[in-house]
A and B are shown apart, each in its own frame.
Chain A
Amino acid sequence: MSDTQKQPDAADRMPHSKLAARSNESAAGNGRGLDHAEGTSHPIRVAPEPQPRGAKVHGKRPIDQTEAAGRFIDAIQHETTHDARLWDLRSKRDRQMHIIPEWEQLRELASAIKEHTLTHLDTYLDQFEQTARANGIHVHWAKDAEEHNKIVHGILRDHGTKSLIKSKSMLTEECGFRQYMASVGIEVIETDLGERIQQLDDEDPSHIVVPAVHKLRTDVAEVFSRTIGTDPENSDVHYLAEAQREATRPLILNADAGMTGANFVVAETGSFVVCTNEGNADLSANVPPLHIASIGIEKLIPRLEDLAVFIRLLSRSALGSPITQYTSHFRGPRQGGEMHVVLVDNGRSARLNLNEFWTSLKCIRCGACMNTCPVYRRSGGLSYGATYSGPIGLIIDPTFNRHKYSALPFSSTLNGSCTNVCPVKINIHEQIAAWRKVMSENHEMPLMKKAAMKAAGAILAHPRLYRAAITTADAALNALPRFMIYNRLNAWGKQREVPHAPRQTFHSWYKQNRGTP
């Protein structure tokens, strides 16, 4: 389906005051609308549904994902649109999968390549650095987020940079990069449409591939009208996108430096690869004279022939298209330009040591797990209160802050769909279960829940005690839910009918009809 470019017409640029005047003529309120017994011909204006905001942060307490999820679910239009949109991406992914007979083999190869690379990571990082340097790339190493920000700041300061354009990079979100730059007075402009919307709204991105997927067009219209002067009444998507293109182009042309992330780093050729659909990474890299790439150390792969496997899997898994509109391979600075790579650890090397969780480093940031997760689709990414949300978030966020994210592994039904769509075969749902064990063993579980589990474990280990607790059907109905509910009476019954109590348990039926063995 091809869309023609729509140029916003004069009506779309009507001054806001004129629109406001029109709405005052409507039938509501002034008692004159029905003077001639005519209905108003103006559309009845329904106020757009306000955007539900993300997880609330209460000091150092663990993030309560379910509370934020509840507010998202209550915002019916937002939740319905969000769920349908991401399920559509999952369906498109499935369609691509069926076209590729070697699909499962590609996943197996991708997983094997990543596991090999990670178990030899020092060698490949070394190889990359040497080759990249030989091609004229400056290579820096940052132990953590703070060092990354300082290194980048140093490079920008050396070049007198006042404004920096950048393409999407989850690593820079992880490092709190934009906030740091704001604090040192360097203007940062996001060029990815979704990221730009979020930046202008002073809100984190909600999804690693489609950062504003939780927003309705009316939310975007509100943000843009506040920040780039569009018509607040116009939520036509083409109008909004064109407005952002026109507003951002001069910022791109005037920027002193550009920053990108990287999807893959090829050790063999000393190059890195950036995949976008908008071409904004290529604008950021090729217009200003200085290009800085912030890259997590786990992005390494050994050879170009390995790259083919990942490029074939990435966009198909993420969006259900065979490849991104732009797949760019950077091997050195351009004529008259300068190129810097900042390799960032920020906890990745430590994660290598985690027996059950190191394979989470295979992640290629495709977002397929988020698209398929039935909890994520109904909760919105902001409900997780972390840079990484959805299934992959549940297994890596605790490595950044175990206490803050101690409840996240419980925002899952362990259904396993995420593991199946993961192009690098991370056993995500098994790792989620493993994190629950870690939380339980490290006193990161709410005390009452732990106590309830202990009580349940005790009763269920003693048949006579157990039978005594559920001798009558009524007692069963009361007893069983009780050890599952810890601070909410009748949580089951809030939105569901409670199960009907049968006349007798199977156990007593058997005793009655078949005798005691």
Chain B
Amino acid sequence: MRVGLFIPCYVDAFHPDIGIATLELLERFGLEVEYPFDQTCCGQPMANSGCHVESAATEALFVKNFQAYDYVVAPSGSCVHHVRSKLDAIEQTDAVLKVRRSTFELVEFLHDILKVEAFPWAEFPHRIAYHNSCNALRGLGHANMSELRVEPFSKPLNLLRKVRGIEVVELARPDECCGFGGTFAVFAENISAKMGQDKVRDQARSGAEYVVSADSSCLLHQQGCAERAGVPLKYIHIAQVLNGAAA
């Protein structure tokens, strides 16, 4: 299978180590992973603000870069949710539809497509709190949503429980939004910051040393709040944990 690696703009700029971990992790399973050099962004920042016209060219570029692949994998729940459910500022040609349904977030890809059973190279002897971003949780179905009466499940925890030494703790409000919300973080800064502070407080009270997530955009926001408050929590992406990051 030909796998195209999509590295979201904010991962590219602020957390290249997550991109590196994702690439290395996929290669550990013997996959041929290519990184189209002309990629930029999935169009989400414009589209989520209702600016579809302004997002169209970026979305078209995304399709152009990734139409040759069997699978497109990205370490970002929000970007993948956008591509699969909302990449509609452009004409829905066969190529567009193919790219849309072939795009997977990393956890989904490992859990549902590769069906990974073990991570023998990984060890993470720490207490962690897991953060499901709202896009990954309610958009991609990473885990059961607390508002619904359904059987509990969690794809990311299924994967993490295969990592030696990991201990998972629960939050008081496990899936309350942390307040990043994309451009909301800047345009509604006061509300966003309060939500982030509350989330960090919940994480601190849980006894976690690390917060792990499949979305580093949320983590950037939470880390920013934690550092400002002097709370010594550490934030890490699931790709890094599964790839054997030493903590």
Decide yes or no whether A463 CB sits under 8 A from chain B.
yes
Decide yes or no whether B48 CB sits under 8 A from chain A.
yes
Question: How far in angstroms is the closest Cβ of chain A from B61?
Answer: 5
Decide yes or no whether B49 CB sits under 8 A from chain A.
yes
Report yes or no: B147 in contact with A492, Cβ–Cβ below 8 A. Answer: no
Within 8 A of A (CB), among B37-61: 37-41, 43, 45-46, 48-58, 60-61
| Contact residues in A for B190 (Cβ distance below 8 Å) | 66, 69-70, 73, 494-495
- Looking at A435, A457, A485, the one whose CB has the most chain B CB atoms below 10 A away is A457
Report yes or no: A495 in contact with B134, Cβ–Cβ below 8 A. Answer: no
Question: How far in angstroms is the closest Cβ of chain A from B212?
Answer: 18
Decide yes or no whether B97 CB sits under 8 A from chain A.
no
Report yes or no: A414 in contact with B181, Cβ–Cβ below 8 A. Answer: yes
Report yes or no: B146 in contact with A436, Cβ–Cβ below 8 A. Answer: no
Q: What residue in chain B is nearest A484 (Cβ atoms)? A: B186
Within 8 A of B (CB), among A410-429: 410-417, 419-421
The residue that B134 contacts in the complex, of A101, A103, A379, A413, with Cβ under 8 A, is: A413
Report yes or no: B179 in contact with A506, Cβ–Cβ below 8 A. Answer: no
Report yes or no: A502 in contact with B40, Cβ–Cβ below 8 A. Answer: no
Report yes or no: B187 in contact with A410, Cβ–Cβ below 8 A. Answer: yes
Question: How far in angstroms is the closest Cβ of chain A from B214?
Answer: 15
Report yes or no: A453 in contact with B49, Cβ–Cβ below 8 A. Answer: yes
CB-CB under 8 A for A492 and B186, given A457-B55, A504-B16, A506-B19: yes
Question: How far in angstroms is the closest Cβ of chain B from A3?
Answer: 27
Task: Pick from B5-13, B103-111, B122-130 the stretch touching chain A.
Answer: B5-13
| Contact residues in A for B244 (Cβ distance below 8 Å) | none
Q: Dominant SS at the B interface?
A: helix
| Contact residues in A for B11 (Cβ distance below 8 Å) | 506
Number of A-B contacts (CB under 8 A): 232
Decide yes or no whether A333 CB sits under 8 A from chain B.
no
Report yes or no: A461 in contact with B228, Cβ–Cβ below 8 A. Answer: no
Report yes or no: A69 in contact with B191, Cβ–Cβ below 8 A. Answer: yes
Report yes or no: A439 in contact with B50, Cβ–Cβ below 8 A. Answer: yes
Report yes or no: A492 in contact with B189, Cβ–Cβ below 8 A. Answer: yes
Q: Dominant SS at the A interface?
A: helix
| Contact residues in A for B138 (Cβ distance below 8 Å) | 415-417, 419-420
Within 8 A of B (CB), among A427-466: 433, 435-441, 445, 449-450, 453-454, 456-458, 460-463, 466
Decide yes or no whether B36 CB sits under 8 A from chain A.
yes
CB-CB under 8 A for A420 and B145, given A73-B194, A414-B134, A492-B189: yes
**A294 CA to B195 CA, complexed, in Å:** 39
The residue that B223 contacts in the complex, of A439, A470, A497, A509, with Cβ under 8 A, is: A497
- Encoded as 1 (CB less than 8 Å from any A CB) or 0, chain B from 1 to 43 comes to 0000001011111111101100100000000001111111101
CB-CB under 8 A for A456 and B45, given A417-B138, A494-B193: yes
**A101 CA to B149 CA, complexed, in Å:** 8
| Contact residues in B for A435 (Cβ distance below 8 Å) | 50
Decide yes or no whether B166 CB sits under 8 A from chain A.
no
| Contact residues in B for A449 (Cβ distance below 8 Å) | 49, 187
Decide yes or no whether A60 CB sits under 8 A from chain B.
no
Decide yes or no whether B112 CB sits under 8 A from chain A.
no
Report yes or no: B51 in contact with A374, Cβ–Cβ below 8 A. Answer: no
Decide yes or no whether B100 CB sits under 8 A from chain A.
no
Report yes or no: B46 in contact with A453, Cβ–Cβ below 8 A. Answer: yes
Decide yes or no whether B177 CB sits under 8 A from chain A.
yes
Decide yes or no whether A488 CB sits under 8 A from chain B.
yes
The residue that B147 contacts in the complex, of A94, A437, A454, A496, with Cβ under 8 A, is: A94
Report yes or no: A378 in contact with B194, Cβ–Cβ below 8 A. Answer: yes
**A289 CA to B49 CA, complexed, in Å:** 53
Question: How far in angstroms is the closest Cβ of chain A from B82?
Answer: 11
Within 8 A of A (CB), among B53-101: 53-58, 60-61
Report yes or no: A460 in contact with B43, Cβ–Cβ below 8 A. Answer: yes
Within 8 A of B (CB), among A48-65: none
| Contact residues in A for B182 (Cβ distance below 8 Å) | 413-414
**A79 CA to B190 CA, complexed, in Å:** 13
Report yes or no: B189 in contact with A499, Cβ–Cβ below 8 A. Answer: no
Question: How far in angstroms is the closest Cβ of chain B from A409?
Answer: 8
CB-CB under 8 A for A457 and B46, given A103-B149, A417-B138, A495-B225: yes
| Contact residues in B for A454 (Cβ distance below 8 Å) | 51, 54
Decide yes or no whether A491 CB sits under 8 A from chain B.
yes
**A77 CA to B219 CA, complexed, in Å:** 28
Report yes or no: B51 in contact with A440, Cβ–Cβ below 8 A. Answer: yes
**A185 CA to B115 CA, complexed, in Å:** 73
Decide yes or no whether B168 CB sits under 8 A from chain A.
no
CB-CB under 8 A for A94 and B146, given A440-B52, A491-B186: yes
The residue that B224 contacts in the complex, of A94, A499, A509, with Cβ under 8 A, is: A499
Report yes or no: A470 in contact with B13, Cβ–Cβ below 8 A. Answer: yes
Task: Pick from A116-124, A252-260, A388-396, A474-482 the stretch touching chain B.
Answer: A474-482
| Contact residues in A for B17 (Cβ distance below 8 Å) | 502
Decide yes or no whether A98 CB sits under 8 A from chain B.
yes
Q: What residue in chain B is nearest A439 (Cβ atoms)? A: B50
Report yes or no: B147 in contact with A421, Cβ–Cβ below 8 A. Answer: yes
| Contact residues in A for B223 (Cβ distance below 8 Å) | 497, 499
**A496 CA to B223 CA, complexed, in Å:** 8
**A491 CA to B185 CA, complexed, in Å:** 8
Decide yes or no whether A109 CB sits under 8 A from chain B.
no
Report yes or no: B54 in contact with A415, Cβ–Cβ below 8 A. Answer: no
**A230 CA to B8 CA, complexed, in Å:** 61
The residue that B37 contacts in the complex, of A94, A488, A491, A517, with Cβ under 8 A, is: A517
Q: A69-B190, A415-B138, A454-B54 are in contact. List 18 more A-B contacts (CB 8 A).
A: A66-B190, A374-B176, A409-B50, A413-B179, A416-B138, A435-B50, A453-B46, A457-B54, A457-B56, A461-B60, A463-B38, A473-B13, A488-B186, A494-B193, A495-B225, A496-B196, A501-B14, A505-B13
Chain B residues close to A by CB (< 8 Å): 7, 9-17, 19-20, 23, 34-41, 43, 45-46, 48-58, 60-61, 134, 138-139, 145-150, 173, 175-177, 179-198, 220-221, 223-225, 227-228
13 A-B pairs with C-beta separation under 8 A: A66-B187, A69-B191, A83-B198, A104-B149, A412-B184, A457-B43, A484-B45, A491-B187, A494-B190, A495-B189, A496-B225, A497-B228, A517-B37
The 8 A-B residue pairs with the shortest CB-CB distance, nearest first, are A436-B50, A413-B181, A496-B224, A461-B57, A457-B54, A420-B147, A495-B193, A506-B19
